């Protein structure tokens, strides 16, 4: 608690200020769910605004989305708590959105069909036709035969909305998506091959009892979230290293000249 008596004084520093009802509507969950996650310590406490009304920020919105995604992956609340505890302390809302998008890509959830008003409420903003096209390019939504109805990927929409205000050409978004799909599919194929040849095949050849086969399959299902987290962490670390190299490479000539 800060000196001014505000709990979590930096949780709405990003300018997003939502009541618990608005947070629940944006995240597509119930107010009861938000409060439950808060009591479990999975969400940081809100900032206290005028009349001691709790105000939530982008960190809450993205962490809530990540919690929901991890639950869809089959993690228990205890496992989710451990997952969140391993995230870097300086994780930004964008970091959490990336985590959710990459975790969701492991087993994509069913798309939701939303009307424009519902889509904009979920996005937390009005959307122009150009912005809808950008979201489509990122894979966050697809158009349907009805121009006012969209097939939305709940896992990718929050990240897509965050990227809308970044001045990235549409062609770059399309190319970036193609790169991610190409390499994620290659990674999935290689992981499947590795697991099949080194774990599953020898296990089958040992002629285990039927109940052991079922247990082995259940264990492999639980491995998926761990692999997803490893991929997310490795991707973020690699991205930061690449960005660091690019910054150092750009700064070197100027540094040399100043000597």
Tens of pLDDT, residue by residue over 165-202, are: 888 887 887 787 778 778 777 877 787 777 777 776 77
- Tokens representing residue 150 in the block: 């969209």
Compute the average pLDDT of residues 126-136.
Answer: 92
DSSP characters over 110-137: PPEEEEHHHHHHHHTS---HHHHHHHHH
Using DSSP, state whether 96 is helix, strand or coil. helix
> 69-73, 125-129, 142-146, 246-250 — which is least confidently predicted?
246-250
DSSP characters over 50-88: GGG-EEB-HHHHHHHHHHHHHHHTT--HHHHHHHHHTS-
pLDDT tops 50 at residue 258: no
For the whole prediction, is pTM greater than 0.85?
Answer: no
Number of CB atoms found within 10 A of residue 16's CB: 20
Using 50, 70 and 90 to split pLDDT, how confident is the model at 132?
A: very high
Using DSSP, state whether 259 is helix, strand or coil. coil
What's the sign of the alpha-carbon dihedral 6, 11, 15, 21?
A: negative
Using 50, 70 and 90 to split pLDDT, how confident is the model at 257?
A: very low
pLDDT tops 70 at residue 154: yes
Using 50, 70 and 90 to split pLDDT, how confident is the model at 103?
A: low
pLDDT tops 50 at residue 79: yes
- Per-residue b/e over 17-40, b at no fewer than 16 CB within 10 Å? ebebebbbbbbbbeeeebeebbee
- Tokens representing residue 209 in the block: 């009892």
Using 50, 70 and 90 to split pLDDT, how confident is the model at 34?
A: very high
pLDDT tops 80 at residue 13: no
Q: How does the average pLDDT of the chain come out, rounded? A: 76
Compute the average pLDDT of residues 71-85.
Answer: 81
Higher pLDDT, 130 or 111: 130
Compute the average pLDDT of residues 61-78.
Answer: 82
Q: What is the pLDDT of residue 10?
A: 45
Largest CA distance in the chain: 73
Compute the average pLDDT of residues 200-219.
Answer: 66
CA dist., res. 26 & res. 24, Å (int):
6
Residues 6+ apart with CB under 8 A from 53: 19
DSSP characters over 154-178: TTTHHHHHHHTTS---HHHHHHHHH
CA dist., res. 81 & res. 40, Å (int):
9
Q: What is the pLDDT of residue 259?
A: 41
Compute the average pLDDT of residues 145-160.
Answer: 86
Using 50, 70 and 90 to split pLDDT, how confident is the model at 35?
A: very high
CA dist., res. 224 & res. 191, Å (int):
11
Which element (helix H / strand E) includes 150? Answer: strand 149-152
Residues 6+ apart with CB under 8 A from 191: 227
CA dist., res. 84 & res. 71, Å (int):
12
């Amino acid at each position: 608690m800060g000196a001014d008596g505000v709990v979590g004084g930096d949780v709405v520093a990003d300018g997003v200020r939502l009541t618990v009802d608005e947070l629940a509507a944006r995240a597509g969950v119930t107010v009861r769910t938000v409060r439950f996650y808060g009591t479990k310590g999975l969400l940081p406490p809100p900032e206290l605004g005028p009349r001691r009304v709790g105000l939530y920020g982008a960190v809450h919105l993205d962490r809530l989305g990540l919690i929901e995604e991890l639950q869809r992956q089959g993690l228990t609340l205890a496992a989710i708590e451990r997952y969140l505890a391993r995230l870097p302390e300086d994780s930004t809302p964008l970091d959490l959105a990336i985590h959710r998008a990459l975790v969701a890509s492991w087993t994509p959830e069913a798309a939701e069909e939303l009307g424009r008003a519902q889509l904009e409420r979920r996005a937390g903003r009005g959307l122009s036709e150009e912005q809808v096209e950008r979201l489509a390019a990122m894979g966050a939504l697809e158009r349907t035969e009805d121009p006012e109805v969209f097939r939305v990927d709940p896992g990718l929409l929050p990240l897509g909305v965050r990227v809308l205000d970044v001045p990235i050409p549409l062609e770059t978004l399309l190319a970036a998506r193609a790169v991610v799909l190409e390499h994620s599919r290659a990674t999935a194929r290689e992981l499947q091959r590795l697991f099949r040849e080194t774990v599953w095949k020898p296990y089958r050849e040992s002629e285990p009892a039927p109940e052991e086969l079922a247990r082995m399959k259940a264990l492999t299902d639980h491995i998926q979230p761990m692999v997803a987290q490893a991929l997310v962490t490795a991707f973020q670390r690699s991205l930061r290293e690449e960005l660091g190299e690019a910054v150092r490479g750009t700064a070197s000539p100027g540094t040399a000249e100043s000597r």
